[in-house]
Amino acid sequence: MKIDTDLRRDVLDELEWEPSIEAADIGVACHGGVVTLTGFAPSYAQKLKAEQVTQRVHGVKAVANDIEVRLSGRAERTDSDIARAAVDALKWKSSVLDEHIKISVSKGWVTLEGEVNWQYQKSDAYEAVHHLVGVRGVTNLITVKAPVSTVEVKSRIEAAFRRSAEVDAQKVRVESHDGKVTLRCAARCARGRSVKRPNGRPGRHRGCPRSRT
């Protein structure tokens, strides 16, 4: 495991390597693999980018992002301006049903509320607004409501495994609870390979907002 001084140097080097970040304004502290970022960023998007860059450094276990967003004069926007821009941004995002999303803005902080059918739609709504000029932060309170029950999803997954030539369905247990499907394998049940969905890709089944193996 890296010592804190080495990890701090690696994080600083990675931040300086990233051209979209003003690394000179960011402070870095490390303790036991936990990295704390301080300082200032000219936009919320750059604050998030600094966190993403830090997370990709080997040895980082967690990131506390205490960077403060300080907008320049040209980046200042009224809450009404930001709200209108957020509404327009969601309309341009084809994956998001914008009529199901409610937006509120207070002192540059955007809050998203509503219901969607998929986790990716919730994520796309966040991605559509977090980079807007004048935004100081985003709270994503959108809930994911599966279009079908997890019991039905569980049944469909089990049937798909029984049809698959690559998966020994008898050795895979499918569990569903609280909107989440979990696949458990008692042994090497896929000819020496990890369990995948029958279409060959790991991930969630239609109608299930979350899944894991």
Count CA atoms closer than 13 A to 36's CA, side-chain side.
Answer: 6
- pLDDT over 60 at 87, yes or no: yes
Question: Residue 168's Cα: distance from chain center in Å?
Answer: 32
DSSP codes, 69-103: E---GGG---HHHHHHHHHHHHHH-TTS-GGGEEE
Question: Residue 128's Cα: distance from chain center in Å?
Answer: 13
- Return the DSSP state at 204: P
- In our burial notation (b when 16+ CB lie closer than 10 A, e otherwise), range 169-199 reads beebebebeebebebeeeeebbeeeebbbbe
With contact defined as beta carbons under 8 Å apart, do 209 and 118 qualify?
yes
Q: In what helix (H) or strand (E) does residue 179 lie, and over which residues does it extend? A: none
Domain boundaries, the chain: 4-69, 73-144, 150-212
- pLDDT over 90 at 165, yes or no: no
Q: What's the predicted TM-score (pTM) here?
A: 0.60
With contact defined as beta carbons under 8 Å apart, do 117 and 206 qualify?
no
**pLDDT tens digits, 98-140:** 788 999 999 999 999 999 988 899 999 999 999 999 999 999 9
pLDDT at site 1: 66
With contact defined as beta carbons under 8 Å apart, do 110 and 60 qualify?
no
Instruction: Specify the CATH architecture of the domain 4-69.
Output: 2-Layer Sandwich (3.30)
Comparing 4-69 with 73-144, is the CATH topology the same?
yes
With contact defined as beta carbons under 8 Å apart, do 184 and 175 qualify?
yes
**pLDDT tens digits, 64-78:** 999 999 988 888 899
d(CA 101, CA 26): 34
Which CATH fold topology does 73-144 show? Histidine-containing Protein; Chain: A; (3.30.1340)
Task: With cut-offs at 50, 70 and 90, classify the pLDDT of residue 2.
Answer: confident
What amino acid occupies position 26? I
The interaxial angle of helices 4-17 and 44-55, nearest 10 deg, is 130
